[in-house]
Structure 1
Amino acid sequence: MDSAARPILFVSLPESGLLNPLLVLAGELARRGVPDLWFATDEHRRAEVEALSDASPVSFASLGEVISELSAVTWGDDVYREVTQSSRFKAHRAVIRQSYKPALQARKYRALERIVDEVRPALLVVDCVAGFAVDLALTRNIPYVLNVPFVASNVLTSHNPFGPSYTPKNFPVPNSGLPLAMSGRQKLANTLFKWRTLGMFMNPGMGRVLREDAAIRKELGITPPNAMTRVDRAAAVLCASVAELDYPFDVPDKVHLVGAVLPPLPEAPDDDEVSSWLDGQSSVVYMGFGTITRLTREEVGALVEVARRMADTHQFLWKLPKEQQHLLPAAGELPANLRVESWVPSQLDVLAHPNVSAFFSHGGGNAYHEGVYFGVPQVVRPLWVDCFDQAVRGQDLGVSLTLDRPHTVDPDDVVDKLTRVTTDPSFRARAERLGALQQAAGGRKTAADLVLDRLTTA
């Protein structure tokens, strides 16, 4: 078979932060006319995948309906409160307990197994959180490219004191939100984070889960991995970042830092309404907190108050999901400088607009890199896991500020942070410099070239 006609199968969990970069990458290959492109994810994302077809089609392969226990968007409010609590370690532990469900992961593994038997891919391109896809690639000996939408250290740093790691011994543990330059107390917290993670797996309840996992792996013939197997065995690792947006360490050769993986812009050229409104403003603060954040009535009211207090200096564009808009005050009570949308056709087009002065976000991997890519200063209210890591890096790099108490919304604090990042020109200057480095890294084009290179050598 001609190497240019060997199937590439993309595999991703359905969460937007993981899925979107792979949709962009698959779309780039489709525009280039690369044949035999397949994309496996949960059923409700079918239309987005099928819309990627261009010079060549992208075939959708269903992994079935969403399994609510595995999808953060559908977790109950009690779980949401656990995984977003103020204790970094307890939140980290809650995420592991909630998402480490061997029997449910096995359902996705079996669904992907059927797809692989049909497609017979020469190469998988896998989101780094889709462990079932890495397991299948290893068990079937299928070459795979791992896609990382976070800073590279997120997947290269061990969570326990004895695990293999590509970063130095005292490097901040992922999900800890700790800086590189730590106080003595922070160094102790960093060490304890690793030991407590190790200890978590010695708990009797977790022991039962480990035994269940071992039994399922034996039944399915899955190769048991270690903590760094997904990186070590990958044909390549694509990271949507650059070295300058992380703390310094020696990045292994197989990890390719390509910068933010974004589609061609404008992404929504027919969006006259929002773009025309942006054209007519002198300064806009864009507020978007991702698809997982669930604001309370008090937090929504506090954000409305922030817009009211800054009416003399900024307009506000707020992407607030429709299901949370009932928490807003009555329409007549909203300040005139606040525009609320349940969805914007393209967050990227908004961030690229020259009149956007600041981005107020949850600090997720995509948000962090997209804001910097377009040279926009940021204020961050980190939500959970990796958000705290990106927030502390952005603050140390001088491109963002983090709320003092991110588990509340204090209007005084938010107004202070937004005022500082929009009036001190150094924030924009540093963001623009780092954004230029991301743009030079090549993004989707470099990522597509690397995938095709791995295909020809598979």
Structure 2
Amino acid sequence: MFVRLLLVAGAIIAALVALFIPGSPEREPYVQGRNKTALFISNIEHGLSNVHVATASALLEGYPDIEVHFASFSQLRKKLARVSAFAQAKTPAAKDIIFHELHGQPFFEAVELLGGDLESTISPPGVAGVDRFTKGLQDWISPWGVEEHMVIYNEIGAIIDEIDPAVVVLDTMMRPALDSTRDKNRVHAFVTPNTLVDNFLGDQPYGSMFWKYPAMTSGFDFPVPWRNMLENIYLNIRFIHAAMLTPNLSAKKVALRARGVKDPINFLKMHRDDVPWITMNTEGASIPVDVVPTNVTCAGPILLSVAPASEQDPELAQWVGRAPTVIINLGSGFSYPLNYVRPMVGAIVEVLTKTNVQVLWKFNKHGEYSDEELAPLKPFIESGRLQMSNWLPVDVLSLLETGDVVASVHHGGSNCFHEAVSAGVPHVILPMWVDLYNFAALSETAGIGVWGCRDTSPTWTADGISSAIIKVVDGGEASISLREKSKSLGDKLKAGEKGRDISAREIAKLAYVK
């Protein structure tokens, strides 16, 4: 009876949500420009842009007759030049990606200008953290102010007019680009690092988004346990309320409409049934859904790997090959404040003392504290079992693909998660905000990873981190199971078509004008 009540409640809530979200209006046919021309528009942050860069790279290699343009901020220029050179080495007929620089603040810089920072982002899972996240939801939906939104909107409009592309490939988090593209009624598609449960829970039948699928930030297992169902319903209601009724976002929409933007920052109607949507959803490493919209392509991991690690940095590749290696890389945007560096240092000492592994740690300092905090690591650096760097000179995927990495310690971001999945490497996930908790829970459900410090997240303890890593690398029963399941999934993905090639093929279909 209790479950049936939840089913009915979920269905009623879903129906009410549908009443408040109007259906898609009839539209004029989209404008398709010059034959064999594609324009990518994305943010610069690795977690947001990597799927677009990977797709553009595969497009150069597999469809060299297509002219590829890329609009973004200046920080992406060198990476795209490198991608072009690699594609030309594989496919001599491939051309350069034509870069168009956008002005203004990149996504995370715009978030910081609104007062967002590391401390304000970190939040616990579930009800305890939902208030903090929903309060800042407008910053993540679109962090640019009205003036800056219009600058980027107009720049992109001018680029579209100049290039006249057959298809525009969009980043879901680049709202000025989406508004400009749709106001010009251009043929477009989305490529996203998110999975189906991140974007299409509202399409699932019987209101199951409320009672079956873990809400964002929840970290619940799938399907949601009975004991967590009411909390899951509450979390989803909070997100819907925040998305629809954020006052500052509503004021921004009014101001943008007054400037001529037709339907600005429409968060709840981003997906359209006539616009292709390409996602990294991966069978065996994603929560399965009952309904997949017909225009959605599940490509699996859409990843960029420009060259083997031995070519990118022979010295580092040789070091990684000396012993089983643990890579600690918490994403491009994370740096370590003192209260996080202390438990990590303690955990690394414990792991290196109790096992035969070596550790590669991507470390960036956040705030002011003495280098003495790192002193316990000195013996391991001197013995060559620990390397620290504020940036990795090679693509992480190329290191994972060497076969010498026995654990990937990361924050639970979609790119980090899918890189390890693709390479068949077990995870140790240390989530600290929003969707990261669900990837951590998913890794345990799939039997390919461990949620480190699960009982204390987002706070770390040295014991919580070290015990998670040791569980993966010590060769015990749990370690063997994690490695075997990870390798089996990775081998399956390697035997199939690469996600970036699937994504490129879908974009190529739109780039060829019929």
Give the alignment's TM-score, normalised by structure 1.
0.88
Matched, 1:410 2:461: yes
* Structure 1 match to 2:97: 58
* Structure 2 match to 1:433: 488
* Structure 1 match to 2:224: 182
Deviation at 1:332, TM superposition (A): 5.7
Alignment CA distance shift 1:29-1:107 (3 Å): same
Deviation at 1:88, TM superposition (A): 3.2
Matched, 1:82 2:130: no
Matched, 1:269 2:299: no
* Structure 1 match to 2:506: 450
In structure 1, the gaps of 5 or more residues are 159-163
Q: Aligned to 1:385, which of 427, 434, 439?
A: 434
- The CA deviation string for residues 110-169 of structure 1, in whole angstroms up to 9 with x for no partner, is 2211211211111011122222222222222211121111222111124xxxxx657834
Counterpart of 2:287 in 1: which secondary structure? coil
Does the 8 Å contact 2:38/2:68 carry over to 1?
yes
Does the 8 Å contact 2:138/2:248 carry over to 1?
no
Matched, 1:252 2:293: yes
- The CA deviation string for residues 62-120 of structure 1, in whole angstroms up to 9 with x for no partner, is 12142576545x56886432221223312431441323445143332222112112111
Alignment CA distance shift 1:68-1:356 (3 Å): closer
Alignment CA distance shift 1:349-1:27 (3 Å): same
- The CA deviation string for residues 402-431 of structure 1, in whole angstroms up to 9 with x for no partner, is 122232221111121112222321111111
Counterpart of 2:169 in 1: which secondary structure? strand
* Structure 2 match to 1:319: 362
Counterpart of 1:256 in 2: which secondary structure? strand
Deviation at 1:3, TM superposition (A): 9.1
* Structure 1 match to 2:417: 368
Does the 8 Å contact 1:39/1:59 carry over to 2?
yes
Does the 8 Å contact 1:301/1:329 carry over to 2?
no
- The CA deviation string for residues 359-396 of structure 1, in whole angstroms up to 9 with x for no partner, is 11101000111111111111110132221121111111
- Supply the distance in 1 between the matched residues of 2:264 and 2:506 (Cα, whole angstroms): 28
Q: Aligned to 2:170, which of 83, 108, 126?
A: 126
Deviation at 1:214, TM superposition (A): 2.8
Does the 8 Å contact 2:428/2:450 carry over to 1?
yes
Alignment CA distance shift 1:143-1:252 (3 Å): same
Determine what percentage of the aligned residue pairs are the same residue.
21
Structure 1 segment 30-109 matched on structure 2, within 5 A: 30-32=60-62, 33-53=64-84, 54=88, 55-67=94-106, 71=110, 74=112, 79-86=117-124, 87-99=128-140, 100-101=142-143, 103=146, 104-109=148-153
* Structure 1 match to 2:19: none
Alignment CA distance shift 1:152-1:441 (3 Å): farther
- Supply the distance in 2 between the matched residues of 1:149 and 1:276 (Cα, whole angstroms): 31
Alignment CA distance shift 1:108-1:299 (3 Å): same
Aligned-partner residue type, residue 432 of structure 1:
K
Alignment CA distance shift 1:408-1:322 (3 Å): closer
Does the 8 Å contact 2:39/2:70 carry over to 1?
yes
- Supply the distance in 2 between the matched residues of 1:27 and 1:173 (Cα, whole angstroms): 34
Structure 1 segment 127-142 matched on structure 2, within 5 A: 127-142=171-186
Deviation at 1:45, TM superposition (A): 1.9
In structure 2, the gaps of 5 or more residues are 1-31, 89-93
- Supply the distance in 2 between the matched residues of 1:321 and 1:456 (Cα, whole angstroms): 44
- Supply the distance in 2 between the matched residues of 1:148 and 1:67 (Cα, whole angstroms): 18
Aligned-partner residue type, residue 387 of structure 2:
R
* Structure 2 match to 1:197: 239
Choose 228-237 or 306-315, whichever is displaced more. 228-237
Alignment CA distance shift 1:357-1:212 (3 Å): closer
Does the 8 Å contact 2:330/2:411 carry over to 1?
yes
Does the 8 Å contact 1:287/1:319 carry over to 2?
yes
Q: CA RMSD in A?
A: 2.8
Counterpart of 2:500 in 1: which secondary structure? helix
- The CA deviation string for residues 199-233 of structure 1, in whole angstroms up to 9 with x for no partner, is 33676xx3353033134135324236755533224
Matched, 1:223 2:283: no
Aligned-partner residue type, residue 338 of structure 1:
L
Matched, 1:11 2:76: no
Counterpart of 1:168 in 2: which secondary structure? helix
- Supply the distance in 2 between the matched residues of 1:201 and 1:259 (Cα, whole angstroms): 28
Deviation at 1:326, TM superposition (A): 6.7
Alignment CA distance shift 1:356-1:257 (3 Å): same
Alignment CA distance shift 1:60-1:379 (3 Å): same
Q: Aligned to 1:143, which of 177, 183, 187?
A: 187
Aligned-partner residue type, residue 219 of structure 1:
R
Greater RCO (Cα-Cα under 8 Å, separation 6 or more): 2
Does the 8 Å contact 2:253/2:264 carry over to 1?
no
Does the 8 Å contact 2:33/2:165 carry over to 1?
no
Matched, 1:111 2:135: no
Deviation at 1:315, TM superposition (A): 1.0
- Supply the distance in 2 between the matched residues of 1:285 and 1:432 (Cα, whole angstroms): 16
Alignment CA distance shift 1:383-1:211 (3 Å): same
Counterpart of 1:408 in 2: which secondary structure? coil
Matched, 1:278 2:333: no
Counterpart of 2:308 in 1: which secondary structure? coil
Counterpart of 1:129 in 2: which secondary structure? coil
* Structure 2 match to 1:161: none
Deviation at 1:296, TM superposition (A): 1.8
